[in-house]
Amino acid sequence: MPDHRAVPARADCVLRALVDRHAAEMPDKPFVVLQDGGRLTYGALRDEVRSAARGLQDLGVSQGDPVLVWLPNGIDGLRLWFAINYIGAVYVPINTAYRGGILEHVVRNSGAKLMIAHGGLVERLAGTDTAALETLVVLHGSPAPVGGLAVLPAERLVGAGDVLPLERPIEPWDTQSIIYTSGTTGPSKGVLSSYAHLFAMGNALIADGEGVPFLGRDDCFMVNLPMFHVGGTAPSYAMLVKGGAIALLEAFDTASFWTTVKETGTTSVILLGVMATFLVKQPAIPGERETPLKHVIIIPLTAEGVAFRERFGTDTHTLFNMSEVSCPLIAELNPAVVATCGRPRKGVEVRLVDAHDCAVAPGEIGELIIRTDSPWALNHGYNGDAAATARAWRNGWFHTGDAFRIDGAGNYFFVDRFKDSIRRRGENVSSFEVEMEVCSHAAIREAAAVAVPSQFGEDDILVAVSLVEAQSFDPAELLAFLTPRMAHFMVPRYIRVVDELPKTPTRKVEKYLIRQQGVTEDTWDREAAGIVVKREKLTS
């Protein structure tokens, strides 16, 4: 068992050491498995990474320099991430959906002089203030002039000769990456992550709350979440640490999911948001339990997530994580309590506090704050934003900005982002809990609950929903479904059907847009329909 109070050794957590060791010990073992049947062994990975690393050095990249990578999931993106870290530079991925102001903000905030981008994205840089950026290397496309940048072909990333010596050894506490948050309420923040932080996150992702791993060298983790997100980087790093494999996909696809699991030998996967719901709501197919998939990490744990195990015969896991932390809450194997995030894992201390960092009373909702036994197991700030860093890291704890509650058994439950809280009829309502119940209806694919102004003060509740394909839908029927399942003050007044919920480039719902639109002409109003939901009267 690892000592959770110590910083991991270089040989155990620094990417360069891991790549070199695995290539020496098992050069013919696959690290990457592709949908088309392609394989990349540890030996070949090291050769490609070292070639690209020398190419980066020839372009002037030095240890500690940030390098922007604007590529979709694939071998190129993985190879360049590893090459950047191999020479001790800082990997700074950009969401492939970014454009306009958010793209300009990330480029400027990163301070990078070099960007590596897919040819299909480069035109978005036109008219953008690229700040310190000097050089652009284009993959999968012909280089074309972009402002005052030196635009180079992909061949420049193939170095001739061995990797040049580093100024000093790469340390566990060195900055490994800058991952940008979604920025739903303001500019995206660049999370500073060390090798020790990513190591802690990856290890916790594939282990129980005591730190005992459920995956190892013989496993293959399907990576269908983007590499510009910890959902893609953490499992990739976890399997690198273990000497296992990843099945690298560009994105999640419901229709091809089970075929891909079988063809790639996938034994584990993260199902984020509604992915598990999509799969559970698909018609049954022959042999759907006869796959190599053994472990599924479902975040958040919905009713469909609980049903996933019974239908598909896998073990299920759930946890709470964000870019800044390292899976501080982990549930027991095969959790049955819907919406639980689990309990603090070994080596992590958490508290629920009020606005002044004082602990809330048992049963009350408070902000989750975190600290760890091991140095560097959490983020070390926000890039170029000292004020945001100070706000998050006050009084010696990292403040998540998330509201949680704890039950009598010690299970933690995510309630809401504080900015999304709803106050109705003197009660605090969790938009997350409303959405969980709404999504239990067979016709609902996704839901977002928001507060809208009430004529009586405080809030009324509006739920925007998108529908499962080919499902009929009656708002009054949904209301009848919800009324016995939730407290009367949680039952929505307004229901609005949309084709798709608005989302950030990292696929988080932009609730502020739904709030801004408010009660539109096509919104159904239960009070206008003559439906009244009242508190149940009890007799003594």
SS3 18: helix
Residue with tokens 């953008």, as numbered in its chain: 128
* In contact, 492 and 449? CB cutoff 8 Å: yes
Task: Please state which CATH class domain 421-525 belongs to.
Answer: alpha beta
Strands 295-299, 268-272: pairing kind: parallel
SS3 31: strand
Write the secondary structure of 336-402 as one string of H (helix), E (strand) and C (coil): CCCCEEEEECCCEEEEEECCCCCECCCCCCEEEEEEECCCCCCCCCECCCHHHHHHHCCCCCEEEEE
Does 421-525 match 10-404 at the fold level? no
Say what the pLDDT of residue 321 is. Answer: 97
Say what the pLDDT of residue 539 is. Answer: 44
Say what the pLDDT of residue 426 is. Answer: 61
Backbone φ, ψ for residue 198 (5° rounding): -65, -35
Residue with tokens 């299920």, as numbered in its chain: 316
What is the number of helices (H) and of strands (E) in the chain?
Answer: 14, 27
Query: What CA–CA distance (Å, rounded) separates 53 from 428?
Result: 53
- Ramachandran quadrant class, 402 (left: phi over 0; alpha: psi -120 to 50; beta: rest): beta
- CA dihedral sign, ordered 364, 365, 367, 369: positive
Residue stretches of the chain with pLDDT short of 50: 538-540
**pLDDT tens-digit series, residues 467-502:** 988 778 899 999 999 988 877 888 999 999 999 999
**pLDDT tens-digit series, residues 171-212:** 999 999 999 986 555 578 999 999 999 999 999 999 999 999
What is this structure's pTM? 0.84
The third-level CATH classification (topology) of the domain covering 10-404 is Rossmann fold (3.40.50)
Q: Would you kindly state where each structural domain of the chain is located, as residue ranges?
A: 10-404, 421-525
